[in-house]
Amino acid sequence: AALKRYQFDIVVKNVSRLCHAKPIVTVNGRYPGPTIYAREGDHVIINVTNHAQYNMHGLKQFRNGWADGPAYITQCPIRSGNSYTYVFNVTGQRGTLWWHAHILWLRATVYGALVIMPSKGVSFPFPQPAEEAELILGEWWNSDVEEIVKQGNKLGLPPSMSDAHTINGKPGPLFPCSEKHTYAIEVQRGKTYLLRIINAALNDELFFAIAGHNMTVVEIDAVYIKPFTTASLLIAPGQTTNVLVRADRSPGRYFMATRPFNDAPIPVDNKTATAILQYRGVPTTITPLLPFLPAPNDSAFADSYNANLRSLNSGNVPLEVDRHLFYTIGLGSNPCQSCLNGTRLAASLNNISFMMPKVGLLQAHYFNLSGVFRLDFPDRPPTAFNYTGAPLTANLGTLLGTRLSRLAFNSTVELVLQDTNLLTVESHPFHLHGYNFFVVGRGIGNFNPAKDPAKFNLVDPPERNTVGVPTGGWTAIRFRADNPGVWFMHCHLELHTMWGLKMAFVVENGNGPEESILPPPKDLPPC
Ligand code: C2O
């Protein structure tokens, strides 16, 4: 085990894309930010010094929510001119993860890869690639993102869509003024490459494909899966996917392309970002071909792709469940006095739109501060209804609250996330901090507690930290609550998070210090 140290300076830098220059927040002046490299077992220290509000978060932190990052959940923002040191051990995880700012929409530009190699002497459970590369998929706005969000909030409308999608911060030659800084990977014919693909987009699930080349998927969210070959892949914000690609085509230039998957009626976003797979020695004047990508609303592809994901090792999927949770996902609206038309869009779990506290929840829990949150998040919705079939109901007005759910230490939990047709149906990538969970089931329509559990995969379900809840359908996950702390769960579409599609779990301490939250670090930022 080694000690890895990084210094992250948060600085504003002028960057130009799509013929527009604007100042953006960056780490060390880089966009995307620097990659953190570690090995399983390493101790990592990242000192972050701020010139803008900034929080970061990356991997599963055992008993150590203090290094998890979400603003007002596990810490208060790092004030301008101040520093905070994120200290953590990389245990029980290897593969690709990522770090990003976790306040407002700052992660639009403040993000980077986190690459964890297996411990020394341990190899990958697949053929050793000749080389590897990180591909971070993102979004670009020509205007100031925080301004766009503010405007949207004032009008009670969604903020405007991004102006481009990007690969490693670059939109690629299908966008104006983008040709000269297109991202390219140089490959040699006959060799195999490991691509670490990360979806850092704010609001889009994405398809990804490489012209002329199949991909073998070997890992998702830093967990190995049974390898399978596919021409395209689907990746939601928050997720990572590692693939092997063999450079076995006639030497040339091939586009790698990404475009949104969106089966909701609005918004229609059809922008394609590209990068280039460049065979060594091939002149760069040759125009690459575009790959075939599934249609933007191809939910059948999404279903079959997801069905292919099976963990390589069966892991410890809980077979018995202590606590059954059923959360409905609703998009609706709330009265809003400061908004121009008197209402604001809202999103809710079990009809509750989460309100951000003014004090970090982890501190409030650790120090027993009263009045910051309530522990009465309901285990199921207030009333049962036909979740995906009923017409709009009076259910649209959601309740506001900072309400959390308490989980006993080491209890096993099953959570069914049920999409509803309140206002719009749309798929939602749900992310749980502090845990990997097992995705045991998924279906379209209403979850049927009498029939569906019999079809759960309890043998080799994919283990991950972010999972898509299909449009007009449900997803069931299981996990063991063995990591004490306060852990945020939210839709990783930033638009929905900001409308309140989030909540947090309080996982109680077990017995003794080994099963309890670590004490907070001395430099934890004050609120
Ligand atoms: Cu990657 Cu709470 O987010």
Write out pLDDT tens, residues 186-201: 999 999 999 999 999 9
pLDDT in tens, 156-169: 778 889 999 999 99
Compute how many other C-beta atoms are within 10 angstroms of the C-beta atom of residue 357: 18
What's the order of all strands across the beta sheet hosting 466-469? 404-407, 502-507, 485-491, 428-432, 466-469
Residue 111 lies in a domain: yes
Question: Would you say the ipTM is above 0.85?
Answer: yes
Query: For the chain, what is the mean pLDDT?
Result: 91
Is any atom of ligand 1 closer than 6 Å to the C-beta of 100?
yes
Q: How far is the CA of 432 from the centre of ligand 1 (A)?
A: 8
The rounded distance, in Å, linking the Cα atoms of 396 and 399 is 10
Shared domain for 350 and 493, answered yes or no, is: yes
Shared domain for 154 and 294, answered yes or no, is: yes
Whether the per-residue pLDDT at 56 is higher than 80: the answer is no
Q: How far is the CA of 465 from the centre of ligand 1 (A)?
A: 9
**Is the CA virtual torsion 505, 431, 141, 46 positive or negative?**
positive
Q: How far is the CA of 430 from the centre of ligand 1 (A)?
A: 9
In which residue are the tokens 């140089």 written? 186
Shared domain for 147 and 229, answered yes or no, is: yes
Compute how many other C-beta atoms are within 10 angstroms of the C-beta atom of residue 256: 27
Residue 526 lies in a domain: no
Shared domain for 176 and 219, answered yes or no, is: yes
pLDDT at 399: 86
Shared domain for 227 and 288, answered yes or no, is: yes
Dihedral angle, C-alpha 440, 445, 451, 453, nearest 10 °? 10
Residue 56 lies in a domain: yes
Shared domain for 138 and 117, answered yes or no, is: no
Whether the per-residue pLDDT at 155 is higher than 80: the answer is no
Residue 468 lies in a domain: yes
Find the mean pLDDT for residues 226-246: 98
Q: How far is the CA of 404 from the centre of ligand 1 (A)?
A: 17
Confidence of residue 382 (pLDDT cuts 50, 70, 90): confident
User: Which atom of ligand 1 is closest in space to residue 107's alpha carbon?
Assistant: 1
Residue 4 lies in a domain: yes
Whether the per-residue pLDDT at 21 is higher than 50: the answer is yes
Is any atom of ligand 1 closer than 6 Å to the C-beta of 488?
yes
CATH number, position 431: 2.60.40.420
Residue 113 lies in a domain: yes
Last residue of a domain, which of 98, 122, 146? 122
The structural domain count of the chain equals 3
Shared domain for 74 and 110, answered yes or no, is: yes
Answer yes or no: are the C-beta atoms of 506 and 405 closer than 8 Å: yes
Q: How far is the CA of 466 from the centre of ligand 1 (A)?
A: 9
Please calculate the CA angle 229-233-238 and round it to the nearest 5 degrees.
130
Last residue of a domain, which of 122, 140, 171? 122
Is any atom of ligand 1 closer than 6 Å to the C-beta of 502?
no
Answer yes or no: are the C-beta atoms of 357 and 372 closer than 8 Å: yes
pLDDT in tens, 323-338: 999 999 988 777 777 7
pLDDT in tens, 96-150: 999 998 888 889 999 999 999 999 999 999 999 999 999 999 999 999 998 888 8
Greatest distance between any 2 Cα atoms in the chain: 66
Last residue of a domain, which of 278, 311, 344? 311
Find the mean pLDDT for residues 494-523: 93
Is any atom of ligand 1 closer than 6 Å to the C-beta of 479?
no
Shared domain for 377 and 501, answered yes or no, is: yes
pLDDT in tens, 248-269: 999 999 999 999 998 776 657 8
Q: How far is the CA of 250 from the centre of ligand 1 (A)?
A: 40
Confidence of residue 55 (pLDDT cuts 50, 70, 90): low
Lowest mean pLDDT among 42-56, 226-240, 416-430, 475-489: 42-56
User: Which atom of ligand 1 is closest in space to residue 433's alpha carbon?
Assistant: 2
Is any atom of ligand 1 closer than 6 Å to the C-beta of 490?
yes
b/e map 431-465, b = 16+ CB within 10 Å: bbbbbbbbbbbbbebbbeeeebbeebbeebbbbbb
Q: How far is the CA of 276 from the centre of ligand 1 (A)?
A: 29
The rounded distance, in Å, linking the Cα atoms of 186 and 129 is 14
pLDDT at 423: 62
Residue 245 lies in a domain: yes
Shared domain for 303 and 246, answered yes or no, is: yes
Q: Is 497 exposed, middle or buried (0-12, 13-18, 19+ CB in 10 A)?
A: buried
CA 319 to chain centre: 27
Shared domain for 380 and 302, answered yes or no, is: no
Answer yes or no: are the C-beta atoms of 327 and 474 closer than 8 Å: no
User: Which atom of ligand 1 is closest in space to residue 69's alpha carbon?
Assistant: 2
Is any atom of ligand 1 closer than 6 Å to the C-beta of 102?
yes
Residue 360 lies in a domain: yes
The rounded distance, in Å, linking the Cα atoms of 371 and 352 is 18
Range of the domain at 295: 126-311
Question: Which protein residue's CA is at the shortest distance from atom 1 of ligand 1?
Answer: 238
Shared domain for 373 and 510, answered yes or no, is: yes
Shared domain for 302 and 440, answered yes or no, is: no
In which residue are the tokens 């520093």 written? 83
Is any atom of ligand 1 closer than 6 Å to the C-beta of 58?
no
Lowest mean pLDDT among 154-158, 281-285, 308-312, 410-414: 154-158
Between 341 and 457, where is the model more confident?
457
Q: How far is the CA of 512 from the centre of ligand 1 (A)?
A: 29
Answer yes or no: are the C-beta atoms of 435 and 483 closer than 8 Å: yes
The rounded distance, in Å, linking the Cα atoms of 75 and 527 is 8
Confidence of residue 405 (pLDDT cuts 50, 70, 90): very high
